Chain A
Amino acid sequence: MNMEVLVNQARAGDSESFVQLFESMELDMYKMARSILHQDQDCRDVMQETTLKAYRSISTLRRPEYFKTWVFRILINECHELLRRQKRRMEADHNSLDEKMSASFVLAEEYEMVELYEALDTLDVSLRLSVTLYYFHGMSVKEIASTLGVSQTAVKSRLYRARKQLAETLYSDIEGKVNYETTN
């Protein structure tokens, strides 16, 4: 059935339509969560929270055609919050830092990937999200701006700062300036 029809039915209170929509998006949601978070149990938690929050507030969605973007915004916010909470806990308890670093990374099998993820972990969450959406998910600056609810200028600025910081972390033993520009 057409997605817009399902969304309208879900907005009117039809929970079956809502479930059908979410089932069709589960894989994409998992990939998104997995690209931001390190562990499957974290992905499970944010997907659960996203489902519940979307269900409670679907009637606020004014444009059915933006349903997926809207859900992903909720999902990314949930990932954002979870990372913040984890970061605060890590800062309070240095032992957990070791546990975090030794968690298995499905996506980071090679050593250089481990380095990349460790470098990403040092970024501020908003910068990390921009990098993840741009590089891991191939989203354009415009799409990222729409999903995060910020301006395109803000996205470009975050990508610039993120790349600068990553370069400093990854290549800190190499002298020289690094200079990056966004291309779209």
Chain B
Amino acid sequence: MRQQTEMEDLLRKPAKKLQGISEVPEPIRANQQRIYSQLGQATQPTSTQPRWKTKRYVVAGAAAAVMVIGLGILGSGFVSPVMAEKLSRLPAIGSIFERSGDPGLQAASRLNMAGGGHLEDTHEGVTIRAQEVVYDGVRLSIGLSREGKKFEGSFQGLQLDEYGQPKRNADGAVIWNPEDTLGQGRIVKVLIDGSPLNPSEGERDSFKRAMSYVTASGKDPDSMLLSFVNNTYADNGITLPDTFTMTLVMEVTGIEESFHIDIPVQKDASRNVELASEITKIHDHLSVTVKRIAVTPVTTRIQLAVSHSGEIPERYMDQDGQLLVEHEFYDDQGQPLVWVGPDQGWIEDTAKTDDYHRVTDYLYGPLQDETRTIVVKSFYYKQDAPRKEQAKEHAGQDDFLKVYIPELELTVPVR
């Protein structure tokens, strides 16, 4: 028993030593500070983040049309009580929406508005799950995850570093999974109540009316965000119903069978504000109109129409004759709105006349409660910049290459 007491006493001695430690050694303190500073850089999304845009050119008869699609960090709206009842709480894996970095998404998460679910399909031990679904009347966002095997690369395709940011090569370009990467997902079909999402190709204006979807990587390799945005820029553009079941058909590289996931969706637009504006400014024969604005708790959609009849200065056009003028959006405190995207639109640009008409929906995060107006600024990149793409690469030197057109600045009330 003496031994027992001796050993107990011995075992308790280090506790006294530990109590005597009053500070963290400097090298460890310094290392922690270095880590903390990297955390701040890794996660704060800003409006100067590059927009990854894909342009698709289609020539249909006499009209050349361009659909501009942006890829980025996608956010969410909120989930209706009906959806919340249908969906159950997430298991321990964590919220894809919470971690996406989108301010609207984080707001919804703080308010416990983004529901979780077990809408899933499994093949060969791999489960694809629709974890979170939100639809605010402007966009439908779905958080998807994969699990069950040791996968290579990322689910969505963009390769990520340890902070969940896209990896970049020496030129600053993002890096995608190599071909045939095991576990990469791909949407192959989308049905709404059993019918295809978009009109068939033979239908009139099918391409113009179609609704596109975009994917974005989650903050980890096993998650991704899928977003559908209502087409409000085209006449009879495809918009989602108020209540429906979406069937997603996905293929995963390395798994033979495709995955089918049925997702019940109900729109909740109870707190939305829709404003028709038609405020216009004209300068140098170029006209910019804010046609309408939609304000929801997590999305701000601003629709702009830009037109001219061929008499605009050459500096507003690139060498292909395409309009170079773009737009930025600020609140009444001068703060840039946080881009969530995707931006999409349509250009009517016939070869018969010089008339040009472009309608674009721009998607941004939620407004602050106190915001009363939005300011729309127009600018173009200097034509003598080597190439427009190079101008955009120098994002930190924006002011050097951007030329604003103050005569086209618009201030629009939003409340």
Residues of A within 8 A of B (CB): 8, 11-13, 15-16, 18-19, 22-23, 26-27, 30-31, 34-35, 40, 43-44, 47-48, 51-52, 55-57, 59-60, 106-108, 112-113, 116, 131, 135-138, 163, 166-167, 170-171, 174, 176, 178-180
Contact A180 B32 (CB under 8 A): no
Q: How far is the CB of B151 from chain A (nearest CB, A)?
A: 18
Contact B35 A137 (CB under 8 A): no
Contact A30 B24 (CB under 8 A): yes
Contact A166 B7 (CB under 8 A): yes
Q: List 11 A–B pairs whose Cβ atoms lie within 8 Å, in order of A's numbering.
A: A12-B109, A30-B25, A34-B18, A35-B14, A44-B31, A56-B220, A60-B93, A106-B17, A163-B7, A166-B7, A171-B7
Residue of B nearest to A171 (CB): B3
A165 to B192, CA, bound (A): 65
Contact B99 A59 (CB under 8 A): yes
Contact A44 B18 (CB under 8 A): no
Contact B15 A180 (CB under 8 A): no
Chain B residues in 8 Å Cβ range of A170: 7, 10
Q: How far is the CB of B78 from chain A (nearest CB, A)?
A: 15
A112 to B17, CA, bound (A): 14
Residues of B within 8 A of A (CB): 3-4, 7, 10-15, 17-18, 21-25, 27-29, 31-32, 35-36, 39-40, 43-44, 92-95, 98-99, 101, 106, 109-110, 162-164, 219-220
A107 to B31, CA, bound (A): 22
Majority SS at the chain A contact face: helix
Q: A19-B39, A31-B18, A51-B39 are in contact. List 7 more A-B contacts (CB 8 A).
A: A12-B98, A22-B32, A43-B28, A44-B27, A59-B94, A166-B7, A171-B3
Chain A residues in 8 Å Cβ range of B21: 27, 30-31, 34
Chain A residues in 8 Å Cβ range of B17: 106-107
Chain B residues in 8 Å Cβ range of A136: 14-15, 18
Chain A residues in 8 Å Cβ range of B29: 26
Partner of A57, one of B27, B36, B40, B94: B94
